[in-house]
């Protein structure tokens, strides 16, 4: 009887951990799915304009994601800092951290917009595409780059609200943004109603205008105090909070920059096999992104909860949340990957009518679905580490995986004149190396002892 009684609290604690993870994860998952849907439908719209248009939109998205990835590094620091202050009931400090992160994001987005707006053709030319496709990609990059400041404000405010546990408010605004993005993008691409037909450029311009409108309303409502995290209410910059954010963010920013630059390099490698292979890779990425963002949602939820638990002085609960999140991410991603593989051909044929591109897309989907369990480990455990402020080790794991598991083997495939399917397959080695390193770090428990104060900066 006593044994049954003692096991009851443990079972309740596990169920409570799973419930907390799921309560934060499902709105974040839906938000990520909506964000992914925009990219998916952009490519679908472009498919009606031809294979070169698909390649151009794929290229434009890669450049946009590079800018967003650097901001995501800052959002990692904002999540770790705001969630810790919120868990420790330090509301004023959480609000100041949120305000400082927003200002930093606007400065970074402004600086990153300069090369995008000044030299879009040079940036598009990096990918080695034909002249017509490069010009289309340059127009997409330019028009989307006009709205980087609005994207930055939206991302940072959403991050701060999620760090307090409010995951529904960002979801509502993202749902509106998604609907308007696709509607405006389609109208400007094909010239519906009073809108001119701008082709690929119209997809970017329409989406940018929609995002800017929604982001402006989002920030205005926050500024007027409609959310649980209030604005600071004064035009000042907290340098101490900024130093802490930058110190935590630098490894995460570096990691995201490494990832995105490596993706750009990988796209350039795939481009050696022709426009069809390049378009197939872009379409495949847009399709497999749906199960991937589910895992990413668990990672964000884990980072928030781990930060809150550590802020409240409960490291064992933080450790348990990571394991529970991993199990849930594995179940979700394996299930979705199986469905994706089963309907791979139907989805590829829905996206484009080119038989060669369809075949290459199906092969890519089969290969990348094998990597989904390793991706689940990456998202859940890396999320836990980042929520604790341990942003350096994920950087090291990412660097090792990308260089030794992806780029060098892919370059070797080209040197040996192997088929593009071998290039697609090297991604499995990348995720295997990264997930193994993260699992080792998580089991060590060293990340639980990190202090976010500047005097005790986390070191490997």
pLDDT recorded at residue 231:
84
Q: In this structure, is residue 281 part of a structural domain?
A: yes
Q: In this structure, is residue 28 part of a structural domain?
A: yes
The Cα 65–Cα 277 span in angstroms is 21
Helix 315-342 and helix 275-311, axial crossing angle in degrees, nearest 10: 160
Closest C-alpha among 387, 357, 371 to residue 435? 371
CB 325, CB 380: distance < 8 Å: yes
- For 402-458, the pLDDT digits (tens) are 899 999 999 998 888 888 899 999 999 999 999 999 999 999 888 887 665 543 343
- For 38-73, the pLDDT digits (tens) are 877 888 888 888 878 888 888 888 788 777 777 887
pTM listed for this prediction: 0.68
Question: Which stretch of DSSP H or E encloses residue 24?
Answer: helix 2-47
Domains in the chain: how many in total? 1
Q: Is the pLDDT of residue 23 over 90?
A: no
User: What mean pLDDT value characterizes the chain?
Assistant: 83
Q: In this structure, is residue 298 part of a structural domain?
A: yes
- Neighbour-count burial of 350, counting CB atoms closer than 10 A to its CB (0-12 exposed, 13-18 middle, 19+ buried): middle
Q: Is the pLDDT of residue 10 over 70?
A: no
pLDDT recorded at residue 94:
86
The Cα 177–Cα 175 span in angstroms is 5
pLDDT recorded at residue 308:
80
Residue range 216-239: average pLDDT? 82
Q: Is the pLDDT of residue 460 over 50?
A: no
Q: Which domain holds residue 291?
A: 21-456
**Lowest mean pLDDT segment, chosen from 28-37, 55-64, 212-221:** 28-37
Q: In this structure, is residue 9 part of a structural domain?
A: no
DSSP state of 122: H
Q: Which residue in this structure is represented by tokens 């378009």?
A: 279
Q: What is the dihedral of CA 209, 213, 219, 225, to 10 degrees?
A: -170
Q: In this structure, is residue 352 part of a structural domain?
A: yes
Q: In this structure, is residue 141 part of a structural domain?
A: yes
Q: Is the pLDDT of residue 150 over 90?
A: yes
- For 291-325, the pLDDT digits (tens) are 888 888 888 888 888 888 887 788 888 888 889 88
Return the higher-pLDDT residue of 152 and 195: 152
- For 321-341, the pLDDT digits (tens) are 889 889 989 999 999 999 999
């Amino acid at each position: 009887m006593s044994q049954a009684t003692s096991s009851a609290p443990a079972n309740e604690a596990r169920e409570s951990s799973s419930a907390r993870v799921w309560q934060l994860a499902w709105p974040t998952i839906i938000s990520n799915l909506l964000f992914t849907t925009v990219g998916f439908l952009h490519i679908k719209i472009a498919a009606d304009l031809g294979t070169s248009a698909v390649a151009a939109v794929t290229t434009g998205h890669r450049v946009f994601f590079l800018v967003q990835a650097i901001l995501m590094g800052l959002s990692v620091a904002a999540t770790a800092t705001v969630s810790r202050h919120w868990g420790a009931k330090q509301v004023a400090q959480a609000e100041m951290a949120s305000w400082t992160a927003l200002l930093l994001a606007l400065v970074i987005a402004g600086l990153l917009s300069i090369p995008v707006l000044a030299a879009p053709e040079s940036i598009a030319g990096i990918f080695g595409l034909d002249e017509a496709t490069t010009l289309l990609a340059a127009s997409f990059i330019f028009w989307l780059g006009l709205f980087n400041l609005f994207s930055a404000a939206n991302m940072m405010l959403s991050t701060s609200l999620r760090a307090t546990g409010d995951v529904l408010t960002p979801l509502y605004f993202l749902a509106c943004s998604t609907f308007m993005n696709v509607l405006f993008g389609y109208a400007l691409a094909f010239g519906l109603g009073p809108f001119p037909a701008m082709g690929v450029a119209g997809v970017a311009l329409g989406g940018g205008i929609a995002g800017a409108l929604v982001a402006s309303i989002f920030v205005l409502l926050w500024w007027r105090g409609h959310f649980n995290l209030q604005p600071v209410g004064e035009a000042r910059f907290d340098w101490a909070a900024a130093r802490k954010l930058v110190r935590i963010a630098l490894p995460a920013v570096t990691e995201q920059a490494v990832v995105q630059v490596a993706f750009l390099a990988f796209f350039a490698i795939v481009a050696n096999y022709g426009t069809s292979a390049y378009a197939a890779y872009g379409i495949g990425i847009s399709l497999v992104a749906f199960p991937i963002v589910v895992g990413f949602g668990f990672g964000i939820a884990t980072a928030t909860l781990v930060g809150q638990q550590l802020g409240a002085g409960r490291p064992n609960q933080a450790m348990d949340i990571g394991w529970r999140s991993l199990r849930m991410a594995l179940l979700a991603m394996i299930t979705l990957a199986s469905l994706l593989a089963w309907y791979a051909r139907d989805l590829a044929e829905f996206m484009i009518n080119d038989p060669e591109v369809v075949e290459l897309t199906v092969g890519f989907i089969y290969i990348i679905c094998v990597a989904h369990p390793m991706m689940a480990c990456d998202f859940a455990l890396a999320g836990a580490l980042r929520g604790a402020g341990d942003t350096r080790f994920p950087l090291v794991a990412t660097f090792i995986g990308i260089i030794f598991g992806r780029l060098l083997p892919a370059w070797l495939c080209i040197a040996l004149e192997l088929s593009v399917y071998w290039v697609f397959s090297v991604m499995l080695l990348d995720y295997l190396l990264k997930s193994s390193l993260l699992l080792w770090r998580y089991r060590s428990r060293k990340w639980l002892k990190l202090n976010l104060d500047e005097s005790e900066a986390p070191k490997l």
